[in-house]
């Protein structure tokens, strides 16, 4: 079963049906395993071998269809995952005591990555297709 937001993408990009289907399968599978998962353009690019710009464009459009939410992740410089998340850079404090490594980190743009999270409606959609 298709996810609603991807149907919107298919109607906008009739020439990209294969690419959209591949991304849809990957996101659907990912969220079924872990509803808290991060939707990462680089993982999609590596797994389905699609042009990175095309992937990013489709993810941004999915954001426009309210299927994805853009999120900033402040990564622990000691390599222990995400220390803090926010919707914008301004929400981050200048310093943080990292819950992952215990050290204090100063905010550096290089430690922040922009990725996506599924919206509540996309998660509902995924769960509904799982039920069917």
Partner 1 sequence: MLTVDLLAALVSRLKEARAKGRLEAVLKQIKADPDVSKRSFRASGTIEQLRDAVQKAGEQGLISAQDLASLVDDVEENGGQHIFLFDLNALGIARVRSQEFKDSFQRLPAQPTPTLYADLPNAKRTYYIERPRQIVVKQVYPAEYWEKDEDRSYADADERVTYIVRKQRRAINLLLLDLARGQAEVRIDRVRGQMDDGLALELFSQFRKDMEEAFDFDSLTTPVPIWQGFTRIVSNRTDTYMSTDGARDASVVVSISNRRENDRGTDVRDHPSYAYATGDYARDTLNVYWLQEGGEKIHTILSRVPGTGMGKIYVAAKLEPDQLTNVIERIRQSTLDAP
In the complex, minimum distance from the CB of residue 11 to partner 1, in angstroms, rounded to a whole number:
32
In the complex, the smallest distance separating the C-beta of residue 68 from partner 1, rounded to whole angstroms, is 15
**Nearer Cβ to partner 1 (36/49):** 36
Distance CA 46, CA 40 (A): 10
Phi, psi of 35 (to 5 degrees): -65, -15
| Residue in the block written with tokens 């996506």 | 116
**Cβ-based nearer residue to partner 1, 62 or 105:** 105
> Would you say 56 or 96 has its CB closer to partner 1?
96
Structure tokens at 54: 């095309």
- Least Å distance, CB 16 to partner 1, is 27
Cβ–Cβ under 8 Å, residues 3 and 122: yes
Toward partner 1, which CB reaches closer, 32 or 53? 32
Query: CB-based burial of residue 82 (10 Å sphere; 0-12 exposed, 13-18 middle, 19+ buried)?
Result: middle
Q: State the residues that interact with partner 1 by CB under 8 A.
A: 33-34, 36-38, 73, 76, 79-85, 95, 97-104, 106
């Amino acid at each position: 079963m298709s996810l609603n937001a991807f149907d919107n993408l298919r109607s906008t990009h009739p020439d990209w049906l294969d690419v959209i289907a591949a991304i849809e399968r990957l996101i659907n599978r990912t969220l079924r395993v872990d509803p808290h998962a991060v939707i990462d353009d680089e993982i999609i690019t590596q797994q389905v071998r699609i042009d990175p710009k095309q992937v990013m464009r489709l993810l941004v459009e999915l954001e426009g269809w309210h299927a994805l939410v853009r999120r900033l992740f402040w990564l622990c410089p000691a390599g222990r995952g995400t220390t803090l998340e926010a919707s914008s850079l301004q929400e981050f404090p200048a310093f943080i005591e990292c819950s992952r490594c215990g050290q204090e980190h100063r905010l550096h743009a290089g430690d922040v990555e922009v990725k996506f999270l599924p919206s509540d409606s996309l998660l509902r959609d995924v769960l509904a297709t799982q039920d069917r």
